[in-house]
Amino acid sequence: MCGIIGYVGKEDATPYLLDGLRRLEYRGYDSSGIAVLDKDGGINLQKCAGRLENLRRQIGDKPESGCCGISHTRWATHGEATDENAHPHFDQSGKLVLVHNGVIENYQKLRDDLEADGHQFLSQTDSEVLGHLIGLAYENQNGVKESNSEERLVAAVREALKKVSGTYGIVVMHVDAPGFLVGARLGSPLIVGLGKDENFLASDVSAVVAHTSDAIYLNDYDLVCLKSDEFKVERIDGGAADFQVSQVEFSAEDVELGDYPHYMLKEIFEQPESIENAFRGRLSDEEASAMLGGLQMSPQELRDVDRIVLVGCGSACHAAMAGEHIIEALSRIPTEVEIASEFRYRNVPLDKHTLVFVISQSGETIDSLGALREAQRKGFRVLSLVNAVGSTIARESDGGTYMHSGPEIGVAATKSFTSQLTLLTLLGLLLGRMRDMSVSDGQEILREIRALPDKVREVLKQNERIKEIALKYVEAPGMLYLGRQFNYSTALEGALKMKEISYIFASGHASAELKHGVIALITEDLPSVFVAPKDSVYEKNMSSMEEVKARKGPVIAITTEGNQELERIADDVIYVPDTIECLNPILSVIPLQLLSYHFAVARDCDVDKPRNLAKSVTVE
């Protein structure tokens, strides 16, 4: 959650900080703030509740000048979204200012102790407590000369962080140390952007990619000291840090909106390319199989796997549910799905031949990262499927594969979901060909994978038709989504997209569960969306549609191109090109993405920044 951007250089900091916040606003938009160390040695702090535009108006045409500053866009955890709770936060002296992502779990005790010593707090946040704690540690270092203010600040950060429990990504600035920033991380992402005569600290590379492509992804317990022309990365305890400078794989243009009205629509229409990027260079005609060298496993090790556990949250969990069907159908390896937040607190029985896969777009999802570490703690090999190169999950896993989808700015996952499905299919193909899948079956899957981008383009051509359907039902109080087998997870994902961005009740179910209670919800005003391609359970899905129609419920059907049969049952039919059964969710989910998008736009919802949500969940 939340976005951080810090700048130290030779230019005025404010334009850099505001531009970085604009690029990070998808991570949190309850409030925002900026603090700049001005040329007179004071800190100019401005912050306010609401969207970033409120802060821009408050700053006006004459921002305070200064070459060092920090800023923050917030997703509220402790304390409501108010001006007072917005970051940055001062310490008790007013000389130190801090921005913080994460949760300080023992903040209340720390706050009580500080208040007993006379500290006064201006907010309800846990973050302000950390600022006071660092400021107190700085003031108490009486034995250190004033000329060593930078060393004093670093020592204060180290001392204060020893006393906190929880997670943090912080950047600290002090009036005694002009042109100097200190950052540290534990459980909340923080990166260093290295420029020419300027350097950056940020929670996401998208904030700095317009200025540099050189980034250091800090590890947990790393501390960084930053000036305009130098940096030092150490461990919080003072030990040597292991880090490397990485190249950001996307450009500033990739995170711009272009001619689209919303990022979500842009990213829906980018799926032909993102799906192709997911399989490019990974298909082997000679072996009729997939090549996933990043797994870091020999063929024999892969053949020894007799159980797979797929772990994820939200849309990644839905992709995993489809992956369970795909992997079992193609390789016949028993596969199960665990919600990451549940897995990390359960004592899941795993045997030595179990392979755990963690799926995350950002590679920073706190529950997925916790699940990865719990599985590794128990001695299991954990692989990852992520989009963000250099992310924590990618670095800490024992191997894995990247989606290469490019940045996904819209809060509601779209292209990352279909990329995850594509890679899970490649995994199923690879494992299947190592077992009993025939060459001809492997070749057929390769043909169909290569055909996906063009078939997705055919689905996208129906955008206006899908918009008409969305407008037809825009007054509906809710929607039901139903599918079976491979497309049960498609129904869940379609329902999630609708509730995320339009705020209406939407519920996904296995079609056959309709008569086991769900059917009680059917009314003339409640549409049911059926994902019913011409597959092995088509007739069963059609029977469920008949049950809804018998109770006068409207039906929207997603089915295979050329299948006119459903037009006599469904009120509206959307067609997708024919493909093999395991790939159908990739095509079927796209009409559901468009349906939710147009439905939400018609209801005047902010589809890119839905209420109460943020893109990357980095706090529990």
Positive or negative CA dihedral for 79, 81, 83, 85? Answer: positive
101's enclosing H/E stretch is: strand 96-101
- Neighbouring-strand partners of residue 68: 8, 37
The residues that are catalytic are 2, 615
CA distance 617 to 396: 18
CA distance 605 to 116: 46
Helices (H) and strands (E) in the chain, counts: 18, 26
On the question of a cis peptide bond just before residue 189, with omega within 30 degrees of 0, the verdict is no
CA distance 533 to 484: 10
CA distance 10 to 228: 7
CA distance 115 to 111: 6
DSSP label of 165: -
In the chain, what is the straight-line distance between the N-terminal and C-terminal CA atoms, in Å? 10
Q: Where are the beta strands (DSSP E) in 354-510?
A: 354-360, 382-386, 400-402, 478-483, 505-510
- Those residues whose C-beta lies under 8 Å from the C-beta of residue 255, and which sit 6 or more positions away, are 23, 206, 209, 407, 409
Q: Where are the beta strands (DSSP E) in 455-609?
A: 478-483, 505-510, 528-531, 555-560, 572-576
- Those residues whose C-beta lies under 8 Å from the C-beta of residue 190, and which sit 6 or more positions away, are 4, 101, 169, 170, 171, 183, 184, 201, 202, 203, 218, 222, 224
Q: Are 368 and 360 in contact (CB under 8 A)?
A: yes
